[in-house]
Amino acid sequence: MTTLPTRPLGPLTVSAIGLGCMNLNHAYGVPPEERDAIAVLHRAVDLGVTLFDTAALYGLGDNERLVATALRSRTEPVTLTSKCVLDFVDGKRSLNGTPAAITRTVEGSLQRLGTDHIALVYLHRLDRNVPIEESVGALVRLREAGKIGAIGLSEMSAATIRRAHAVHPIAAVQSEYSPVVRNPEIAVLDACRELGIAFVAFSPVARGLLAGAVRSADYAQHDIRAQMPRFTEPNLAHNLRAVDAYDALAAAHGMTPAQLSIAWTLARGEHIIPIPGTRSIHHLEEDVAAATMTLPDEIFDQIDAIFAPGAIRGARYAAAMQAQIDTETLPHEELA
């Protein structure tokens, strides 16, 4: 087993790069065979990854089962995190931040993960119909019962983070962050730094846009990018011009585009932990190698110039999904 640099995740210490497990059977078209997905998870452990991120929502619970199946046979210490509020109820996607729903979801996650304790559980989204204090309170009670270890938030604004943190210390905030997606720079990164909260960056390669995986809008069935404005035409063709310049910059420095994006994310703050996801062992190995890469100072300004306002068109989410996002939006960000 390889040893990676580590970073704090609330009271925990984890590898500086974690693994986002969602795409192993959720949201990106036809999933891989289970044996292939398990092989990716095993290889991640071999490479020194100790942080594995899943959620009740992913694969209608099957993602949690997959992760549990894969890691059950390993003796190396790992940290499993999951999420509640977003779930499937009676076969339908549900957003419910009430204490009863949170308790029900976490109990289900415990069963699927085959454990009596989850290291950290996030509120996956903000339920605007329930005060954040009530939702956090439900997790506090689960923590007091020994069922979870720490509390996190996902895709929430600095104002919401502060309200939640006043109820109970928040260990981690998870949001999308990459050279393309800068929303956390508005206020969330600073709030996390000030309050001593880890920032967990999901999609640090911009859903494949900064990993050479998106060259056209010809997506597989059930690929969520087909519903995301910046990944569909006419926006995509415009956005790929900036991506081409970024890819050339990575090549000039002897890095893959994904490695540059992950190394950039790591360099934005000692409290930041990227969790790229992949179905490929080769790509996993490339991603993890970024943990020990050092970037020249000038590359940050070069990346900022490539992805200056206007370089990327289209919102992160379609309007219905954006309505569930509490994270701040940038002045130039299109919401449709």
Residue written as tokens 């594995």? 52
Burial label for 328, CB within 10 Å (0-12, 13-18, 19+), is middle
Read off the pLDDT of residues 163-190 as tens digits, 9 standing for 90 and up: 999 999 999 999 999 999 999 999 999 9
Q: Quick check: is 329 in a domain?
A: no
Any domain includes 161 = yes
240 vs 257: CA distance, rounded Å: 13
Residue 322 lies in a domain: no
User: Is residue 333 a part of any domain in this protein?
Assistant: no
pLDDT score for 335: 45
Q: How many residues are listed for the chain in this entry?
A: 336
Question: 37 lies in a domain?
Answer: yes
Give pLDDT tens digits for 218-260: 999 989 999 999 999 999 999 999 999 999 999 999 999 999 9
Strands in 171-323 per DSSP E: 172-176, 198-202, 272-275
Closest CA to 223 of 207, 212, 205: 207
Do the Cβ atoms of 220 and 30 come closer than 8 Å?
Answer: yes
Q: What is the CATH number of the domain that holds 96?
A: 3.20.20.100
Q: Can you give the pTM of this predicted structure?
A: 0.96
3-class DSSP assignment, residue 273: strand
> What percent of the chain clears pLDDT 70, i.e. is strictly above it?
99
> Confidence band (pLDDT; 50, 70, 90) for 91?
confident
**Which of 179, 332, 177 minimizes the C-alpha distance to 249?**
179
Which residues participate in catalysis according to the annotation? Answer: 58
Q: Could you list the residue range(s) of the whole structural domain that residue 63 is in?
A: 6-216+256-297
Count the domains in the chain: 1
pLDDT class of 334 with cuts at 50, 70, 90: low
Mean pLDDT of the region 22-44: 94
Token output for 283: 């790509």
The whole-number pLDDT of residue 101 equals: 98
Q: pLDDT by residue (tens digit) across 144-153? A: 999 999 999 9
Measured distance CA(192)–CA(184) in Å, rounded: 10
